[in-house]
Structure 1
Amino acid sequence: MKKSIILLLAFIITASSYGQVIYEKFKSIKLDQTRELKIQLPRNYKKNEDKIYPLIIVLDGDYLFEPVVGNVDYFSYWEDMPESIVVGINQDKTRQEDSRYDLADFLPVNKGAEFYEFIGQELLPYLDQTYRTAQLKIIVGHDHTANFINYFLFKENPIFHGYINLSPDLAPNMKDRIIAALSNRTSDTWFYMATGTQDVEKIRNNVVGLDEKIKEIDNDNVKYFFDNFEESTHYTLVGKAIPRALEVIFEMYRPISKKKYKEVILHLETSAYEYLTDLYKTTEELYGIKRKIRINDFIAISTAIEKNKNWEELEPLGKLARKEHPDTMLGNYYLGMYYEQIGEPKKAMRAYENGFLQSEVAFLTKDFMLEKVNKIKEDFGW
């Protein structure tokens, strides 16, 4: 209940609540105009000088930027997604021209073609050079601009990896072009699309029709998600779709849940330790971000190992915990458990004693480690 209230507030709290928004005027040669940008950096961007961050480009930044920033900050705070750089492009007076396409081939034309080149050839290179951006880049749009973001799908090597389509007002031929692009995608791509039962009828019908076609695509490189929100209009669906899109795109990034622990990890026929290392290797490959293994994920895996009595897996788990969290008791605790189970009490006692000198973490306290040492001494009369 508490998280639900906070999530609701995230939709209406402005970006300035999380940190100062950088307002920039960007002089575009392609557009022969100056464009207004809103840039939100992660909370500890200046302190974490070696850290890189995914980049989220928000079209219709004059009204979409704040709800996207609010949800990104909320999800990243709970480690449900990585901290990210969010950049909004204000289009309150230019969105129609920015989204313009030719009436013959239905591809960007005039100002639409220039806006397309502005994003790919000017804005993204500038952001990559100015800020510590990661490989993962996502773009967000609503109705006309949601249609527009899909033109980036058609490049042989797309510059965006994630597409958040909020009630896209699809151009003619766009459905067939999206299907062809996703069918042939050879790199990891996230494609999210949303409508509502009270959406504009033409838009809703086109989106629902496209959804049926995309579901037929057999391509493991494409992660596709669709929502048709009950009783949601063209505008109210946005507040539901943004957190939903972030949730599904970063599903692999989230901590191991109780559900995954009970339904998957406890019933693994393979190594739980290897499941953990493979999970983090996969998320690094997907999102282009290397990160420490969470303490809670270590605990979930070790609990499964104990439940299934696969004691030999505690040794590599302990060594990995020492590497990932060298200042904490965690690694020595797992090694102590391992030595106890294989009948090496002196090595177990030494591991617990070493852990006693380190920082407490989770359920591990100095008293707990001391009890483990004293119990071994008592059992063996030392």
Structure 2
Amino acid sequence: MAGLEELRRKLQPLFDADIGPSPGMSMDPCESYMVSSEGAVNLLSKSSGVYNFSEHGLEKQTNGIIHDIDRSEQAYRCSSNEMHVFGAIGCGSSSIVYKAIHITIHRILALKRINVFEKEKRQQLLNEIRTLCEAPYFQGLVEFQGAFYTPDSGNISIALEYVDGGSFADVLRLRKSIPEPVLSHMVHNLLISLGYLHGERHLVHRDIKPANLLINLRGETKISDFGISAALDNSVSMCETFVGTVTYMSPERIQNESYSFAADIWSFGVTVFECATGKFPYSATEGAVNLMLQILYDPSPSPPRDKFSPEFCSFIDACLHKDPNTRPRADELLAHPFIRKYEKETVDLGAYVRSVFNPVSKLKDMADVSFW
């Protein structure tokens, strides 16, 4: 417990949720963050309290009380001086992701860096933190390892598990398409994760696409990138904001109508269609406006009946109903004939992933990092 008390001392709260900011603090005009002269930052979340970040790690404060977010003492001792950062492994609209090694525990991690001074990125950071660390760990989501603030750069780094295979987009670049039996098992696992997000966490992901679905060399699938996810407080709550990747966006979202979990099902259906056929189902070469018009007014895409099983075609058709009220829920899709068709077939997802991504090259990359 002494180590935990030392960590708490280093992470003295900069803001008291009951009495307000401490002396010497500067408040952002939008009242979403504050910075201290000691090189630490508070992110203020109306729904979740106050997040205290420093070079030493992260703690959360609610009603004046500091709470460890993690379920163990160790995970949040994730400080900047314990990280050795290597090259970038990806980037998105709000962040750059680097490969790093956590020196004290000799574990390879993915560090997602987000600039705290940009309001939109702060909100995405809060979304990511809330989704990944404020609930019991779920295997189908990328695992949260901690976070820390670097004053010199103004960046908050989120430490995530390093998924050593790659994304579904990487698989498509190397293999063009994924065979039905393999895809069925992948889809089964992803539907469990999506059902957890929708049913247990009441979250709409809002950016389901091949680049945000990951798989490791053991064949375990993971949903990642929760920066624009949105919480629905109850079954009748609806989202109304226009965010996400337009190419995978549902018709109701494009029309700026209220939407709910069914919007993720549409995006998932487009993603699975692309994984099976190797082609995005719409012509996206003539600009975003033309693409949106296709999604709204063209018939929903359907796989070629002569190349794919009736069960697969039925699965895609169910996901891509224009009317969101007729799309099945994630848990209902688990009982779809496309899933049942292959569930008794032995499919080694780990072996498939290792056949796509050169395991020797992957192991060499990890050995090079570990050697340091």
- Common fold: TM-score over 0.5: no
Comparing both structures, which one devotes a greater share of its residues to strand? 2
Tell which structure's C-alpha radius of gyration is larger: 1
TM-score normalised to structure 2 length: 0.31
Comparing both structures, which one devotes a greater share of its residues to helix? 1
